[in-house]
Amino acid sequence: MTPTSPILALHTATAELDPPLAALDLTSLRANAADLVRRAGGVPVRVASKSVRCRAVLEQVLGTGLTADGGFAGIMSYSLAEAIWLVRLGARDVLLGYPTVDRAGLAELAAEDILRQSITLMVDDLAQLELIRAAIGSDLVHPRVCLDVDASLRIGPLHLGVRRSPIRTPDQAAELARAAVARGFEVVGVMTYEAQIAGLPDSNIAVRLVKKASAAEIAKRRRRVLEAVRSVTGKLEIVNSGGSGSIEVSVADPDVTEVTAGSGLYVPTLFDHYRSFTPRPALYFATSVLRKPTASIATVFAGGYIASGPTGSTRVPKPVWPSGLRLIGTEGAGEVQTPLSGASRLRIGDRVWFRHAKAGELCERFDRIHLVDGDGSRTTVPTYRGEGNCFG
């Protein structure tokens, strides 16, 4: 049973290690990174840290820099504590992708110039502004904020997209901007994340039609929102949009100054069916066969790394080598063991390679990742967990 590339490279480079382990094919990662830059067409790409959760990988991607033809610039963080940690380790442009109510973190931000200058907070509610101001405890501090504007598609009573911001109309956005300015905040940007485009694979014609309608609607509405906000704030530094699955849609709007991408670097199974790009899976995990309940079933250690989102078959890990392996419906992927059918060729001690359903969440299960280069060399780096961090 010889694995196929890139699993062959990972299998060979980690042969003397005992699973469970996570391994990243750097050749695929670099190809994915280059493809994201190509798709962005010269618009800077901000890296979504939640989809990476490994500082060494963030540094490798951001190390490619920004050129006249585009590239990676900045981080979208998912936690204020994470953003503070990254800035103290050298990051200088961190946009929070979500609001924060971390009072201790806000007080910390207020106390240090480098944190205030490097971190942009996300807001979508007057109550958040009030909480931030109370946590900071000084009218002399002027935090940078970005307004999160709902980008979902609404057709009559239907809401197609995720439930994020309550801010949707130009008037609502301008009102929040005025409230922020009046309270001493520096409004520097607007974000519109069209999850119903970025996060849905092109699985059928209905999905593709919804995506097309949504792209047209948000482009028109974003333009009106930006006009309304700029009437309050003047020029904006940041107009952020998109995700790995919707880069082309976002950059088609000349108002967009940057796009965000992260999952497209690792390419988990949820990104297998997009028409806008060719998926090159880069991140895998391996575990070992512990026992053989029957001739055709092998039970491997652990493996129950279920992804977030609506429960169902799309959120479970997928065995990819040896081929033909399947989870058993009555047990699925388990906390301590996972039985697999189609395993007549497997023996106790053999390895099974899996892919996770979502990108960075796998790093919450491992304290290190083995990076395997094209020449077969291996470098082991810590994940966020391996550096002693759990940001939620």
β-bridge pairing 283-294 and 66-67: unpaired
User: Would the pLDDT of 194 be above 90?
Assistant: no
Q: pLDDT tens across 94-112, in order?
A: 999 999 999 999 999 999 9
Q: Report which secondary-structure segment, H or E, holds 171.
A: helix 170-182
Is 370 in contact with 17 (CB distance < 8 Å)? yes
Residue pair 49/86 in contact (Cβ under 8 Å)? The answer is yes
Higher pLDDT, 338 or 201: 338
| Interval 376-390 mean pLDDT | 97
Q: Closest Cα partner for 119 from 110, 128, 130, 129? A: 110
What per-residue confidence (pLDDT) applies to 2? 61
Residue-range domains of the chain with CATH: 7-20+282-386 (2.40.37.20), 26-266 (3.20.20.10)
Residues in the chain, how many?
Answer: 392
Residue 305 in this model has a pLDDT that exceeds 60: yes
- Contacts (Cβ under 8 Å, ≥6 apart) of 26: 282, 371, 372, 373, 374
| The model's pTM | 0.92
DSSP 2: P
Question: And the tokens for 297?
Answer: 């079933």
Residue 161 has what pLDDT?
A: 67
Residue-wise pLDDT for 8-21, tens only, equals 999 999 999 999 99
pLDDT 10s digits, 217-271: 777 889 999 999 999 999 999 999 988 888 888 898 999 999 999 999 999 999 8
Q: Is the pLDDT of residue 207 over 80?
A: no
User: How far is CA 348 from each of CA 7, 17, 288, rounded to the nearest angstrom?
Assistant: 20, 16, 8
Q: Provide the pLDDT confidence category of residue 69 given band limits of 50, 70 and 90.
A: confident
pLDDT given for residue 205 in this prediction: 65
pLDDT at 196: 58
pLDDT tens, position by position, 17-45: 999 999 999 999 999 999 999 999 999 99
Question: Residue 200 pLDDT more than 70?
Answer: no
The predicted-structure confidence for 127-157, as pLDDT tens digits, reads as follows 999 999 999 988 899 999 999 999 877 676 7
% of residues, the chain, pLDDT over 70: 91
